[in-house]
């Protein structure tokens, strides 16, 4: 049996600061979400497909190495496993904004997406509503969903032509710095009819 598994159970080297480090990671992810905007969930699926295995291996290695110490501290094995699952899921969710920022730092230039509006919907949460317009980009043929202002949402009808000015990022996600431009990302290009 490997010696690192049979060592006396002891606290991880940064046990005292682990919670603070994870909270800093979460705060950094929230800051990334606030600074970079783009397509609705743009890049999230790709980021999860890149991060799921490395993050799983890191969480599993930590839990495996410090299992006895974690069980002594939590008093129940199911709490240790539940905590590991929570850290894993939060890590995946909060890792995405870091990739969005890396994507934006490696800018490849401006990109204009434009096409007819296919549908309108409001995504409600406890804190706010997101006004989402779905349109088909004429250049790529992709269906794109963008969160827009409530004023633009009310002005646009299905069939109108919507234009969105974004940038192409290094990792391939379309983005825009939220506070870098005073003009809105999307605007009404032409009315239907």
In a 13 Å sphere around the CA of 61, the CA atoms on its Cβ side amount to 7
Give pLDDT, residue 182.
63
The vertex-186 CA angle with 182 and 188, nearest 5°, equals: 120
Quick: pLDDT tens for 128-159. Answer: 888 999 999 998 899 999 999 999 999 999 99
Query: Strand, coil or helix: what is 192?
Result: coil
Of the options 3.90.1150.200, 2.40.50.660, 2.60.90.10, 3.40.50.10490, the CATH number for the domain spanning 109-190: 2.40.50.660
Quick: pLDDT tens for 22-68. Answer: 889 999 999 998 898 888 777 888 888 999 999 999 999 988 888 88
In a 13 Å sphere around the CA of 14, the CA atoms on its Cβ side amount to 7
The Cβ of residue 60 has, within 10 Å, a number of other Cβ atoms equal to 12
pLDDT at 120 over 60: yes
What's the whole-model pTM score? 0.76
Which residue ranges make up each domain of the chain? Answer: 3-105, 109-190
Q: Hey, which bits of 59-190 come out as E strands? A: 109-124, 129-136, 143-148, 161-168, 174-177, 186-190
Percentage above 90 pLDDT, the chain: 41
pLDDT confidence tier of residue 2, bands split at 50, 70 and 90:
low
Report how far residue 181's alpha carbon sits from residue 144's, in angstroms, rounded to the nearest whole number: 21
Report how far residue 60's alpha carbon sits from residue 81's, in angstroms, rounded to the nearest whole number: 10
């Amino acid at each position: 049996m490997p010696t690192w598994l049979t060592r006396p159970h002891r606290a991880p080297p940064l046990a005292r600061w682990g919670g603070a480090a994870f909270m800093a990671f979460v705060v950094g992810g929230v800051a990334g979400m606030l600074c970079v905007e783009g397509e609705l969930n743009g890049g999230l699926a790709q980021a999860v497909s890149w991060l799921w295995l490395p993050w799983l291996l890191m969480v599993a290695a930590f839990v495996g190495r410090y299992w006895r110490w974690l069980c002594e501290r939590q008093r129940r094995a199911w709490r240790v496993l539940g905590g590991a699952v929570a850290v894993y899921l939060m890590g995946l969710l909060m890792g995405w904004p870091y990739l969005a920022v890396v994507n934006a730092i490696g800018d490849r230039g401006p990109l204009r997406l434009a096409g007819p509006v296919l549908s309108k919907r409001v995504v409600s949460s406890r804190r706010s509503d997101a006004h989402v317009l779905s349109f088909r980009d004429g250049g790529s043929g992709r269906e794109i969903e963008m969160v827009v202002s409530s004023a633009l949402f009310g002005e646009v009808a299905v069939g109108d032509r919507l234009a969105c000015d974004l940038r192409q990022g290094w990792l391939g996600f379309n983005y825009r710095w939220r506070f870098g431009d005073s003009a809105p990302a999307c605007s009404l290009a032409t009315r239907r009819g």
